Structure 1
Amino acid sequence: MSDLDQLTQSLARNLKRWRGERGFTLDALATRSGVSRGMIIQIEQARTNPSVGTTVKLADALGISITTLLDQEQHVTVRLVPPDRAVRMWSTSTGSSTTLLVGSERGGPLELWAWTLVAGDESASDPHPDGTTELLHVTEGVLTLVVDGEPHTVPAGTSATFEANVPHAYRNDGETTTAFTMAVSVPPVR
């Protein structure tokens, strides 16, 4: 079984499990997430690989991290994630990408991401649930962080934090590659 097939199977199994644990019907999850009922059925039956945006919407609606939707080893004391087990969630033909490095559910979903944006690339995100915080640290180049329509220049060596319950985007307006690490903290479902 390929890595993509394993990822698809884990997502199907975990989405169905968490939807059941939350007591959400297909219609309730569709309403909470903005993802169609048909798409949720396809994901739960491992018939499709959803986009990052769709996966984020489902995780947010369930109050869990993307890691939980994709991972099989949630109940260990120490979990090591070697580079070949990190999950590439988004990439472009020009070389931009984002990789989910590791995540945890304790105290609410917490995720650690590695980003690379080549010159001219951008990735936009829908608002996350209220109380979601993103922290990032630029290690290379200059990032243009756009939060609720307002751009912020974040050069290498600089960190930023913001409430991510508004539309936001990560953009490379420069001429060289931008790299940054990002942590996302989502409040638990109440």
Structure 2
Amino acid sequence: MSDLDQLTQSLARNLKHWRGERGLTLDALAARAGVSRGMIIQIEQARTNPSVGTTVKLADALGVSIAALLDAEQPPQVRLVPPEKAVRMWSTSTGSHTTLLVGADSPGPLELWSWHLMPGDSSASDPHPDGTMELLHVTAGVLTLLVDGEPHSVPAGTSAAFEANVAHGYRNDGAEAVDMTMAVSVVPAR
């Protein structure tokens, strides 16, 4: 089984599990996540590999980390994630990419990401649930952080924090690659 097939199977199993754990019908999860009922059915039957945006919407609606939806097994007390097990979530033909390094679900979803943005590339994100915080630290280049339409220049060595309940995005307007590490903390689902 390929890595993609294993990821698709894990997502199908975990989405079903967390939807059941939260007592949500397909229609309730679809409404809460803004994802069609048909798409959720296809994901739960491992017939499709959803976009990063769809996966984020489902995780947010369930109040779990993306790692909880993608993990193949239950984590032990200490979970080590070797580089080859980190999950590449987004990439472009020019070499930009994001990697979910590790995540946890207690007391609320918490994720650690590695980002690499090539000059001219960008990634936009829909608003997350109220109370979701993003922390980032730029290690190379100059990131243009967009929060609710307002650009913020974040040069190497600088960190930023913001509540991510509004549209936001990350853009590289410079001539060199941007590297950053980002943590996302989501408020637990009620």
Q: TM-score, normalised by structure 2?
A: 0.99
Q: 5+ residue gaps in structure 1? A: none
**CA–CA distance in structure 1, aligned partners of residues 5 and 71 of structure 2:** 13
Q: 5+ residue gaps in structure 2? A: none
Deviation beyond 6 Å, 4+ runs, structure 1:
none
> Residue 156 of structure 1 aligns with which residue?
156
Q: CA RMSD in A?
A: 0.6
**CA–CA distance in structure 1, aligned partners of residues 12 and 142 of structure 2:** 37
Once the two structures are superposed, what CA deviation does each residue of 1:77-122 show, in whole Å capped at 9, x if it has no partner? Answer: 1000000000000000000000000000111000000000000000
AA in 1 matched with 2:37:
R
Once the two structures are superposed, what CA deviation does each residue of 1:53-88 show, in whole Å capped at 9, x if it has no partner? Answer: 000000000000000000033341100000000000
3-state SS, counterpart of residue 5 of structure 1: helix
1:156 CA displacement:
0.2
1:9 CA displacement:
0.3
Q: 1:5-16 counterparts in 2 under 5 A?
A: 5-16=5-16
AA in 2 matched with 1:22:
R
> Residue 89 of structure 1 aligns with which residue?
89
Aligned residues: 190
3-state SS, counterpart of residue 30 of structure 2: helix
> Residue 126 of structure 1 aligns with which residue?
126
Percent same amino acid among aligned pairs?
A: 80
**CA–CA distance in structure 1, aligned partners of residues 68 and 90 of structure 2:** 17
